[in-house]
Amino acid sequence: MRVMTVLEYFDWKAALQIFVLAGIIYSVFDFLSVSPGGGILRGFTVLTVVLSVVTLLLAKSLRLRVIDWLVTQFFLPFGVIALLIIFHTELRRGLWRIGQSRIFGVFSPGGLAPISEIVDATVAMSRQRIGALLAIERDVSLGAYAERGQRLDAQVSAPLLISIFHPGALLHDGAVIISGNKIVAAGCIFPLTENPEFGVALGTRHRAAIGITEESDAIAIVVSEETGAISLAVRGKLTANLDRESLRAALRQIYVERRLGAQPSHAS
């Protein structure tokens, strides 16, 4: 009785299916990897799939029925369950981003934020050492965070932003969410980053700025209450010690890249 080799299990249809599935898997995990654990999730998944496929092919080609049964009936099902349990945080964040995307019509595009008003308010608060945290919404909705804050739906203006964060104001401790030319909500609470790279040196506002940009594509601007330093967070990366011109240039660059359909690339 002839023993079939591994190569005999492949034909052009199998190769096509593998290619399509690989593309889908890569796209999904590239989209889901919005937190520090995303890379671990992808690596663990790829390693599990590769080992399972190689073991399964060898088991079938050599007719190792026990190993074949263990892989298909035990290892693969329990591996999926283990992924769901171990990486539930990363998966939840990714699925939340998918559900909040404008592709599904959660909200209509709000246009571009008024950069000049935001920059003027940020610089003024920096000079007065007024602590502030602003998140500018882009393609991923921040509606879930806005609902837990105080709804405003007010036109963006520098005086209004400064008054919100002024010490003693009711909403100065939370964050402001800006969508298009509207201040959607104030007093909002954002998740803090869990990335150990930033350690404990950063304050709560800075960790919240990084956290919201890890979970969405928002732009976060922070003014330090202690030093007045201005920082910008994009996609989990923080750029510190910006002045008026560098902040304006960074915001304009991001919006130009958005119009061109490119991914923001901002150095930390």
Same domain, 162 and 251: yes
More confident position, 136 or 139: 136
**Would the pLDDT of 40 be above 60?**
no
Is 110 a member of any domain? Answer: no
Which residue, 118, 52, 54, is CA-closest to 83?
A: 52
- Residues 82 and 121 both lie in one domain: no
Whether 127 and 230 map to the same domain: the answer is yes
Q: Tell whether 160 and 27 lie within a shared domain.
A: no
Query: Of 100, 123, 141, which marks where a domain is finished?
Result: 100
User: Has residue 268 been placed in a domain?
Assistant: no
* Crossing angle between the packed helical segments 12-32 and 88-100, to the nearest 10 degrees: 90
The answer to whether residue 106 is domain-embedded is no
Contact criterion met (CB below 8 Å) for 87 and 37: yes
If one counts the domains in the chain, the total is: 2
246 and 164 fall within a common domain: yes
Q: What is the pLDDT of residues 69-125, one digit of tens each?
A: 666 666 666 666 766 666 666 566 566 555 545 444 433 344 567 899 999 999 999
148 with 251, same domain: the answer is yes
pLDDT tens for residues 2-31? 545 555 555 556 566 666 666 666 655 555
Q: Is the pLDDT of residue 44 over 70?
A: no
Interval 139-167 mean pLDDT: 92
What's the rounded Cα separation, in Å, for the pair 165 and 79? 48
Residue 163: inside a domain, yes or no? yes
**Could you tell me the CATH number of the domain that includes residue 152?**
3.40.1700.10
Q: Which of 72, 100, 128 is the last residue of a domain?
A: 100
Q: What is the pTM of this model?
A: 0.60
Q: Give yes or no: residues 152 and 242 share one domain.
A: yes
**142 lies in a domain?**
yes
Angle of the 12-32 helix axis to the 37-61 helix axis, nearest 10: 160
Full residue range of the structural domain in which residue 148 is found: 115-260
Tell me what pLDDT residue 265 has. Answer: 42
**Does a structural domain hold residue 84?**
yes
Residue 227 has pLDDT above 70, yes or no: yes
Say if residue 63 is in the same domain as residue 159.
Answer: no
What's the mean pLDDT in 56-68?
66
